[in-house]
Amino acid sequence: MKKSRTRNIPSCFRLTAPGALVIVLALGACGDDDDILEPRPPAADNGNGNGEEEQETPVPESEFWDDDTEATQRAQALLDQMTLVQKVDMMHGEFNPNYGFFNAPITEIGIPPMTMADGPVGVRVANPEANEQQATLMPAPIALGATWDRELAREYGTLIGAEADLTGHNVLLAPVVDIIRVPQWGRAFETYSEDPLLTGVLGAESVLGIQSNPVVAALKHYLAYAQETRRLLESNVVVDERTLQEIYVRPFAIVQRDGRPGAVMCGFNQINGDFACENEFILGEILRGQLDFAGWVLSDFGATFSSLPSLEAGLDQEMPGNTGGALPIPCYYCEPLLEAVQNGTVSEDRIDESVLRILRPWIALGGFDNPPEPEPLPEEEHGDLARTIAEQAVVLLKNDDLLPFGDDITSIAVFGADADNVVAGGGSALVIPTYTVSPLEAIRARAGEGVDVRYHPGNDPLTSAALLPGPEPIPSGFLRAPDGEHGLRAQYFLNQEFSGEPELDRTDPYAAINGGFFLFEGFTVASPAFPELPQTLNGDLSIRWTGELTVPADGVYEFVLVSRGTGRLFLDGEPVVETAPGDPDEIVETRAEVPLEQGDTVDLRVEYVNDARTEDRDVGPQFKLSWMPPTRVISPRSTEAARLAAESDVAVIVVRDYSSEGGDRTSLRLPFGQEELIQEVAEANPQTVVVTTTGGAVNSAAWDDAVPAILQAWYGGQEQGNAIARVLFGDVNPSGRLPISVPMDEESTPVGIPERFPGAGTNQVFSETIFVGYRGHAEFDLEPRYAFGHGLSYTEFRYDGLRVSRTPAGMEEQYPLQVTVTVQNTGRVAGTETVQVYVGNLPADVPTAPIALAGFERVTLDPGERRAVTVNLERNSLSYWDTVSDRWVTPAGDVPILVGSSSADIRLRGTGTLPQQEGEE
Ligand code: BGC
C-alpha cells in the first residue's frame, strides 16, 4: 500500500475498519434528503444528518498499515543492511539545535530523517525553516470533544497531518486519548473527554485523518496519565485492573481497533509501581498482546528511566534520547544499550524487533516514498475548518432569552483582559498560529457599523501565577508604579541579592511569578497585557516590586505572601511580614494583619528570592503577594466596566483560565478579578453573557445565578473570535455538548478527596475505581452544575418512539444492541441534536456504573422536521472487564437503556436484553 500525497478525504466517503459494511451518508452536495439516520458501522461516518443518502460500497480488503506485507518486506530488507550502531541510533532521538528532536538519515541505504512535531492542538513546528514555525492553531481537542462529531474529528486529523507534512515532519505526537479524571488537570484541553467511548471514537478518527498523510500518529500518553502535579517525581498511579481496562485502556483500544496508530507514546507516571515506559503489563501484555498493537512505543520526553527493564518491557525508542547536554537527562538507549548488545546482555534480535516496529509503519504510511518538504500552508482553507470546528464546539450552558442577539441591539460592551486576544493552552501543545481573530475583533466585525461596540479589559491579565494557591493579588487599580502607571515597578535580578543591573525593569500589574515549566521558551502563554518573562528567570533570581497602594476602605487588611523561597513585604519602609526559605517542596502562605485607613497612600515594597529550589523540574520560582481586604472592595477596573455596561444594550464578558502542561489548576474558580467583573457588570446590566474560554470546567458558583447566558467556548483556536461572534448573533445555532461534567465545586467531584487528587505522597490513588466523571457523579450522588452531555440550542427537540432491538446479523459482535428513536425539531430554527444513549447498571455480579455512554449520533433538523435516528450500542459499554478470566464479559439479562439530550436529561427509558454469550453460563 503506497500513500499518495493527497491530503483531503472527500466528504462523502470514509474508510472503515476491515470487514465492515460501509454506509455512506453524504453531506449537502453529496445526497438527497432521507428521514432515517442509519446505524453506524465501525468507524464509518453518518455525517451530520444534513440531507443524508445511503448506499453500500464494498470495502477494500484492508486499509491498515499493519496488513501491508510489501512494507514489511521493505523494512526487513533495510534492517538487514543496517549496522548495530545504526539500529541502536534509531532507537533513540538526537537533539539537533536547528531542528528539535529527530533521527539522522541513513542516506546510504535510503532511510530519511525521522522528524517529529508535537501536537495535538495543531502542529508545533519544530523546523525553524518551515513557515516561520507557524501552523493552524486548532480548537483544543476538548473542543472537538464537545462537537461529538466523528466527521469533524477526521477532518481535524487530516488537517493537522497535512500540516505536519507540509512543515517537514513525518511523525506527529498526537492525538491524546487520556481520560479527564481530574477537572483541575492542566492538560484537560489536550484530550477529548472524561468518557472512554467518546474519547476513543474521536481519537480513532483523528488517527485515520493524520495517517491519511505520509505521517505517523503517535498516540499518547499511555497509560493513566491524569494530572500534572508531581508528574516528574516518580508519581505512581495506584489502580485496580478492572478500572485500568474499562476506563483508561479502553480509549487506546478503540483507537487501535479503528485507527491503527503507527506509534504509541508511554507517559511519565508509574502504574502500580512500574514506570509506564518499563511496564511489561501495560506494554507487553495489554498493548501488544491484548490490543495487537504492531507499531513502536516511544517514551515521553524524559520518561525513560532504564535501559534493560525498559527494553524487556517493550519500549522501542527513547525520546528525546541524546540531548548532547541540552537537557539534564541521561540517555539510556544510547551507549548503555549499545554496550549491552556488544557484551551479550541483550540479543541483537531484540534490537531488530524494535527497529522493525519503527520501520514498518513509517514505510507503510508513506514516510519513505514522500519525504516531507516544507511548503506553504493553505492558511485560509485551514482557518475555515478551524472556525467550523470552533463553532460546533461552543456549548450553550444556559440562556434565559438573551441569545441570539437581535437586530434591535445598538450597543455592545465587551470585557475581559484577553477579549482582544486568542486564548490557548500552554506547554508542548502550544502552536504559533498563522493568524488570529479575537472575540473583540470578530464581534466588532459582525455587529457592523450601526452598532457601537466598546471594550474595557475589566480585570488584570492572567499569567501562570493564576495557578498559585491563596487569595487574589491586589488589583492594579489600587496600585501605582513610580512611572505613574497602575501596578508596580518590577525589577528582576539574575542573582539572589537584588544586585547590579536588573535583567528586566518594567511595570507589572501585580507582584506574582510562577516559573519553572511555565517559563520555558515557546511553552508559555502570555497575554499582551502581561508580556512573557524570559526563561533565564528560572535560575538565580531575586525580584523587587515597588509602588504605592491607595487604601480603598477602613479596616484591618490581611496581606498574604504565597511563596516558595524568601518573601518580604514592607509598608512605608517597615517590615510587615517575611517568609523564610523553608522546605523547597512546599509553597508557604504567610500572613500579616495591618490596620489601614481609607484614602491613605502607603509605600509598598515586596521582595522575593528564589532560594528554595525543588527537585521538580516543572517547578521554578513561585511567589504572589495576595490580600484580603476588610470588606468587599471593588477594583477600579470592575467599576469602570460596570459603568460602561450600564450604558450599553448588552454586555459580553470573555473570561479565561490558565491551563498548561506542567501544572494543575489549584481552583476551578475564575482567577484574578474575573468573578468580581462578572458580578459588577451583571448588576449594572442584566443583559450579560459570559463566554468562558477555558481548558476545562469552571466553578461558576459565585456568579452563575447573576447572568442569563453562558457560552462555554473552550480554547477555540485561531478563529475563536469568529466562532464566538457567529454563535452570539445566531449565524450558528450552538450544538456543542459537554464532554466533561462541570462540578458544583472542587470537592464535589469523584476525585474530591486528597488521596485521589493531588494524591498521597507519590501515590495518586484511583480509589474512585470505574466511577470517573459522570459515572462517579451518579454513583456518589454528586450533582454536577452542568452534566456531561449537556448543551442547549436556539431550538428544541422532542424525542419519542424508542425501540431497542438486537443488531442485524454480522454486527452483533461489536454492537449487540441497537436503539432507534424519533427526534423532532419543535422550534423555529434549524439545529443539530446529539442523541445520547446510555446504559444503566448491567445485570452483573460486579458493581457497574448507574449510567454509561453506549452510543451517540448527531442529527441536523429543519424546523418541524422529524427523523428516526438509529444508534448502535458498543459491546464494551454493555460489558465489564472480568479480572478472573482476563477479558470483557457481556452479562446476559436486561439492561436499562436511557436516551436523552444529556446524562442528566434522559427523555426516554427502555430495556435491552443481552443474550447469553457462547460459553457463558
Ligand atoms: C509532553 C509530551 C510531548 C513531549 C515533547 C512532553 O513533556 O508530555 O506530550 O509530546 O513533551 O514535546
The pLDDT tens digits for 561-607 are 999 999 999 999 999 999 988 888 889 999 999 999 999 999 999 99
The length of the chain in residues reads 921
Residue 45 has pLDDT above 60, yes or no: no
Per-residue pLDDT band for 687 (boundaries 50, 70, 90) equals very high
Residue 378 has which C-alpha cell? Answer: 493553505
Q: 117 CA to middle of ligand 1, Å?
A: 10
Residue 308 has pLDDT above 60, yes or no: yes
- Higher per-residue confidence, 683 vs 45: 683
According to the model, what pLDDT value does residue 326 have?
A: 81
SS (H, E, C) 691-714: EEECCCCCCCCCCHHHCCEEEECC
What average pLDDT does range 292-298 have in this prediction?
98
What percent of the chain is predicted at pLDDT more than 90? 87
The model's pLDDT over 194-204, given as tens digits with 9 standing for 90+, comes to: 999 999 999 99
What average pLDDT does range 138-146 have in this prediction?
99
The model's pLDDT over 652-676, given as tens digits with 9 standing for 90+, comes to: 999 999 999 999 999 999 999 999 9
Per-residue pLDDT band for 919 (boundaries 50, 70, 90) equals low
The model's pLDDT over 766-806, given as tens digits with 9 standing for 90+, comes to: 999 999 999 999 999 999 999 999 999 999 999 999 999 99
Pick the range with the lowest mean pLDDT from 430-434, 501-505, 810-814, 833-837: 810-814
- Higher per-residue confidence, 591 vs 9: 591
Pick the range with the lowest mean pLDDT from 90-99, 288-297, 361-370: 90-99
What average pLDDT does range 618-644 have in this prediction?
97
Residue with CA at minimum distance from ligand 1 atom 8:
300
The model's pLDDT over 338-373, given as tens digits with 9 standing for 90+, comes to: 999 999 999 999 999 999 999 999 999 999 999 888
Residue 164 has pLDDT above 60, yes or no: yes
Residue with CA at minimum distance from ligand 1 atom 3:
428
Residue to substitute in 169, 173, 318 for testing ligand 1 pocket (most ligand atoms within 8 angstroms of CB): 173
Residue 689 and residue 482: Cα distance in Å, rounded?
Answer: 37
According to the model, what pLDDT value does residue 63 have?
A: 80
Residue to substitute in 160, 297, 301, 660 for testing ligand 1 pocket (most ligand atoms within 8 angstroms of CB): 301
Q: 220 CA to middle of ligand 1, Å?
A: 9
Question: Is ligand 1 within 6 A of the CB of residue 300?
Answer: yes
> What residues contact residue 449 under an 8 Å CB cut-off, 6+ apart?
none
Question: Is ligand 1 within 6 A of the CB of residue 118?
Answer: yes
Q: Are 682 and 688 in contact (CB under 8 A)?
A: yes
Using alpha carbons, select from 655, 674, 790 the residue that is nearest to residue 715. 655
According to the model, what pLDDT value does residue 99 have?
A: 63
What average pLDDT does range 48-61 have in this prediction?
39
Residue with CA at minimum distance from ligand 1 atom 11:
301
The most distant pair of C-alpha atoms in the chain lies apart, rounded to whole Å, by 83
According to the model, what pLDDT value does residue 13 have?
A: 26
Distances (CA, A) of 583 to 54, 758, 763: 66, 19, 20
Residue 2 has pLDDT above 70, yes or no: no
> What residues contact residue 407 under an 8 Å CB cut-off, 6+ apart?
none
Residue 30 has pLDDT above 90, yes or no: no
- With 0-12 / 13-18 / 19 or more C-beta atoms within 10 angstroms meaning exposed / middle / buried, residue 581 is middle
Residue 10 has pLDDT above 60, yes or no: no
According to the model, what pLDDT value does residue 56 have?
A: 40
Q: 380 CA to middle of ligand 1, Å?
A: 28
Residue 131 has pLDDT above 90, yes or no: yes
Question: Is ligand 1 within 6 A of the CB of residue 428?
Answer: yes
Question: Is ligand 1 within 6 A of the CB of residue 178?
Answer: no
Residue to substitute in 428, 660, 664 for testing ligand 1 pocket (most ligand atoms within 8 angstroms of CB): 428
Residue with CA at minimum distance from ligand 1 atom 5:
301
Q: 335 CA to middle of ligand 1, Å?
A: 23
The model's pLDDT over 691-717, given as tens digits with 9 standing for 90+, comes to: 999 999 999 999 999 999 999 999 999
Using alpha carbons, select from 769, 714, 793, 806 the residue that is nearest to residue 883. 769
Give, in degrees to the nearest 5, the angle at Cα 233 between 227 and 234. 90
Q: 532 CA to middle of ligand 1, Å?
A: 21
Residue 51 has pLDDT above 70, yes or no: no
Residue 238 has pLDDT above 50, yes or no: yes
According to the model, what pLDDT value does residue 62 have?
A: 60
Residue 9 and residue 14: Cα distance in Å, rounded?
Answer: 7
What is the amino acid identity at position 682? A
Residue 48 has pLDDT above 60, yes or no: no
What average pLDDT does range 280-299 have in this prediction?
98
Residue 129 has pLDDT above 90, yes or no: no
What average pLDDT does range 310-324 have in this prediction?
95
Question: Is ligand 1 within 6 A of the CB of residue 156?
Answer: no
Provide φ and ψ at 525, rounded to 5°: -95, 120
The model's pLDDT over 872-892, given as tens digits with 9 standing for 90+, comes to: 999 999 999 999 999 999 999
Residue 698 has which C-alpha cell? Answer: 469552571
Using alpha carbons, select from 163, 200, 211 the residue that is nearest to residue 15. 211
Residue 135 has which C-alpha cell? Answer: 501552523
Residue with CA at minimum distance from ligand 1 atom 2:
300
Residue 18 has pLDDT above 70, yes or no: no
Residue 463 and residue 526: Cα distance in Å, rounded?
Answer: 6
Residue 415 has pLDDT above 70, yes or no: yes
Per-residue pLDDT band for 37 (boundaries 50, 70, 90) equals low
Using alpha carbons, select from 835, 832, 836, 837 the residue that is nearest to residue 796. 832
Residue 775 has which C-alpha cell? Answer: 459515572
- Long-range pairs for 753-760: beta carbons < 8 A, 24 or more residues apart: 757/181, 757/182, 757/184, 757/227, 757/229, 758/227, 758/229, 758/230, 758/664, 759/227, 759/229, 759/230, 759/235
According to the model, what pLDDT value does residue 920 have?
A: 57
What is the amino acid identity at position 612? A
Q: 771 CA to middle of ligand 1, Å?
A: 28
Q: 702 CA to middle of ligand 1, Å?
A: 35
What average pLDDT does range 903-909 have in this prediction?
98
Residue 622 has pLDDT above 80, yes or no: yes
| β 36-37/866-873 pair status | parallel
Residue with CA at minimum distance from ligand 1 atom 12:
428
Question: Is ligand 1 within 6 A of the CB of residue 173?
Answer: yes
Q: 122 CA to middle of ligand 1, Å?
A: 14
Q: 673 CA to middle of ligand 1, Å?
A: 32
Question: Is ligand 1 within 6 A of the CB of residue 301?
Answer: yes
Residue 368 and residue 466: Cα distance in Å, rounded?
Answer: 46
Question: Is ligand 1 within 6 A of the CB of residue 520?
Answer: no
Q: 499 CA to middle of ligand 1, Å?
A: 36
Q: 692 CA to middle of ligand 1, Å?
A: 26
Q: 781 CA to middle of ligand 1, Å?
A: 36
How does the average pLDDT of the chain come out, rounded?
A: 92
Q: 502 CA to middle of ligand 1, Å?
A: 33
According to the model, what pLDDT value does residue 126 have?
A: 84
The SS3 call for residue 190 is helix
